[in-house]
Amino acid sequence: MVIFGCIRFLQLLTLDRSPLQIAFGITFGMLLGVIPVTTLHWLCLLGCLFIVRMNLLAALLSAACFGLLSWILQSPIEELGYWTLTAHKSLLPIWARAYHAPILPFTAFNYSSVMGGTLIAAACFVPLLLLSQILVRKWSAPLHTFWLSTRIQRAYTHYRRMTH
């Protein structure tokens, strides 16, 4: 019975099935996975995840995958953030002014891991959106056929026929 509840939950998460909605889900998951959780802009992105129409399952799975990837690549991400915050002396007055602004300090941009993650997420947004849309168009039908042939899906279909 628990498996059938999980399958029903997964079906609810995959209501938005167009390639663009799935691609947006993958891309927003990348944003949520790469940017550290304790920042204001991460919370805003989480809110946008539920406001903008996109595939929630794709977003949650890609957030988990990209979160693991960003954990593995934490050292280069921090180096990029540190380099951005300190290497350009001409940007120091901008960082100081932003730190004393009313809301910007809550984004924690002055931490090297947050700055590096935000820069990587911003740089990868459009390319990942286009790439994931191409891949979703190519692999959606074969993966759906594979899912329909699994024992879990067949058991669920048999269960639904017997109860209705």
Q: What is the mean pLDDT of residues 11-20?
A: 68
Give residue 19's pLDDT.
85
Would you say residue 29 has pLDDT above 60? yes
Would you say residue 13 has pLDDT above 60? no
Please enumerate in sequence order all residues whose Cβ is within 8 A of that of 147, keeping only pairs 6 or more positions apart, or say none: 153
Give residue 34's pLDDT.
94
Q: Where are the domains of the chain?
A: 20-159
d(CA 21, CA 75): 32
Structure tokens at 111: 């931490």
Would you say residue 109 has pLDDT above 60? yes
Could you say which DSSP state residue 153 is in? Answer: H
d(CA 19, CA 55): 9
d(CA 110, CA 62): 26
Q: Is the dihedral of CA 105, 109, 112, 113 positive or negative?
A: positive
**What pTM did the predictor assign?**
0.80
Tell me the per-residue pLDDT of 46-77, one tens digit each, with 9 for 90 and over.
999 889 888 888 899 999 999 999 999 999 99
Would you say residue 11 has pLDDT above 70? no
